[in-house]
Amino acid sequence: MNIEEVHKNTKIMREGIPYNVDNCEFMKPGKGRAIYRLKLKNLNTNMTLDVTYHSGDQVDEISITGRDMQYLYEEGEDYVFMDSQTFEQFTISSSLMGDRSKWLTEGMTVNMQMMGETVLDINLPNFMELEVIETGVAVKGATVTQQTKPATLSTGAVIEVPPFVKEGDVLKVDTRTSTYVERVNKK
Amino acid sequence: MFEETERLCRIKSNLERRALIFDLTRRFFKERGYLEVDTPTRVPTVAPERFIQPEESNGWFLAASPELHMKRLLAAGYEKIFQISHCFRRGERGRLHNPEFSMIEWYAVGSNYLMMMDETADLVAFIAKELKIGDVLNYQGNRIDVSSPWPKMTIQDVMKMHAGWDPVEAFDEERFDDDITLKVIPNISKDRPCVLFDYPRQAASLARINPSNTKVAERAECFIAGLELANAYSELIDPAEQRSRFLKDIEIIKETEGRDLPVPERFLDAVGDMRPTGGIALGMDRLVMLFCDAASIDEVIAFPSDLA
């Protein structure tokens, strides 16, 4: 692919090593050549690297296939998933998973980004509906601005919610931003 | 729609200040006797430039700059003209770039590249004064004294100092642009704007060669806290030299990118009638960024290309 088409989170192969583009900065003197400063993360080691490309340069995009998988369980530092068609099992390290592990529930389906048999990343559903396990009573403050309070969800994730939310409510949440969307309560 | 409303409300004060800066800019030039002109956006030919890709429009182009038409006005005898227009440059998108942007271009017969830079300093100092900012601008953690005139340095000196080689004695095209962007601009002093001048003749573009030092072109650029703001020339008015530069660039563009560009014949017919003139183009969006302390061009444009 042409360097112009590279964006943040494009996955590329460079000198035999797969990288994620963590950041792509376009710089150009008005009359001069464009420069692309990429921050690359080595997908095997998580080490980062700064590289410079110019307009017209070609990079090798990694061909990625998406496979739906079921989450099974946590095992030490890893999370174990299973392809429900072939029953093959794959693991993801906690460093790749990051704090997204707070959304994992047994049996949920995620989309796994694969390069051949190697797992590059997973995509969680953007929205999930989860039950509130614990939340306090909103403290009445002196201001008129809308108050929020923390609530613990069934997966262990903690998010800020409006004061009317009670334990046992089911909430729609945005997993990308860890924010409350609405109360659904249709069990 | 919620995200769009939220974004547009957040940048409203920037857009209000933008409108004010456009008004002040027009006032500045009108008070100095410049005529505001209006040349076409959709044009049959553009100046062939190696590193500026025009956007095509049904066999014609969207103007990457109003330069050629403004120079045809100058050739016809107009003496001081300015224009604020939308310009289009394909693929230029980043923190400081939007493929459609606003540029002010102005020309004065009898002026030259360094006088145009002094006038740019006057413009910025005038806006700062009218906005009640005074002489010192706060931009991205830098305190910049914008009072006019601005310090000037030759490209030869700054390149020797920050990149360790001399592009005037031995030009290396690939290294030149990279080193200006990655070594010089980040390292020049940020407490004052900086004018860099006398570019190697190989990077002359549409500037005339300096008659007393033929290794350099009378071209200057100014930077404020790392932001490239404006590019000035003593305009090239020799039609034969202009034609040969255009034909050479058309050939290189054809060879390296496979793009066919027409020769701007009407402009070439006119350019020989121009008198010695100074010309300059300044990015209005970036000027607004400076006065809004905006890190990204997206904070001063209502609808950047990704959200258009």
Distance (Å, whole) CA B297 – CA B228:
13
* Residue of A7, A8, A27, A39 to mutate when probing chain B, most B C-beta within 10 A: A27
Domain boundary among A14, A36, A61: A61
Query: For position A94, what pLDDT does the model report?
Result: 85
Q: Which of A4, A35, A56 sits opposite B181 (nearest CB)?
A: A35
Instruction: State residue A167 phi and psi, 5-degree precision.
Output: -60, 140
Burial string for A40-62 (b: 16+ CB within 10 Å, else e) reads: bbebeeeeeeeeebebeeebeeb
A 10 A CB-CB count for B118 gives 16
| Residue B69 near residue B39, CB atoms below 8 Å | yes
Domain of A56, CATH number, reads 2.30.30.30
Token duo for residue A49: 């690297």
Domain of A95, CATH number, reads 2.40.50.140
Whether B95 is covered by a domain: the verdict is yes
- Identify the segments of chain B with pLDDT beneath 70: 1-2
CB atoms B180 and A34 under 8 Å: no
Q: Collapsing DSSP states into helix, strand and coil, what is residue A85?
A: coil
Say how many domains are in chain A: 3
Say how many domains are in chain B: 1
**Partner A contacted by B97 (CB < 8 A):** yes
CB atoms B93 and A26 under 8 Å: yes
Q: Which of B180, B256, B257 sits opposite A29 (nearest CB)?
A: B180
Does this model's pTM top 0.95?
no
Query: For position A99, what pLDDT does the model report?
Result: 85
Query: For position A45, what pLDDT does the model report?
Result: 83
Domain of B234, CATH number, reads 3.30.930.10
Query: For position B201, what pLDDT does the model report?
Result: 95
Whether B295 is covered by a domain: the verdict is yes
Distance (Å, whole) CA B288 – CA B79:
28
Bridge partners of residue B145, in order along the sequence: B136
Per residue of chain A (187 residues), give pLDDT as tens. 999 889 888 999 999 898 999 999 999 999 999 999 999 999 888 889 999 999 889 999 988 888 999 999 999 889 999 998 889 999 888 888 888 889 999 899 999 988 888 888 888 999 999 999 999 876 665 555 567 889 999 999 999 998 888 999 999 999 988 889 999 876 5
Query: For position B12, what pLDDT does the model report?
Result: 97
Token duo for residue B89: 């440059």
Alpha-carbon torsion angle B281, B87, B138, B134, nearest 10? 50
Q: The domain containing residue B114 runs over which residues?
A: 2-138+226-307
- Quick one: which H or E segment has residue A49? strand A48-54
Whether B84 is covered by a domain: the verdict is yes
Distance from CA of A75 to the nearest CA of B (A): 39
Query: For position A144, what pLDDT does the model report?
Result: 56
Q: The domain containing residue A136 runs over which residues?
A: 127-183
Query: For position A145, what pLDDT does the model report?
Result: 59
| Residue B202 near residue B183, CB atoms below 8 Å | no
Whether B292 is covered by a domain: the verdict is yes
CB atoms B256 and A56 under 8 Å: yes
Query: For position B174, what pLDDT does the model report?
Result: 86
A 10 A CB-CB count for B92 gives 23
Say if the ipTM goes beyond 0.90. Answer: no
A132 and A118 in a common domain = no
Query: For position B154, what pLDDT does the model report?
Result: 97
Residue (of A82, A77, A118, A126) closest to A98 by Cα position: A77
Extract long-range pairs of B305-308: CB within 8 Å, 24+ residues apart.
Answer: B305/B93, B305/B98, B305/B99, B305/B100, B306/B93, B307/B4, B307/B7
Whether B166 is covered by a domain: the verdict is no
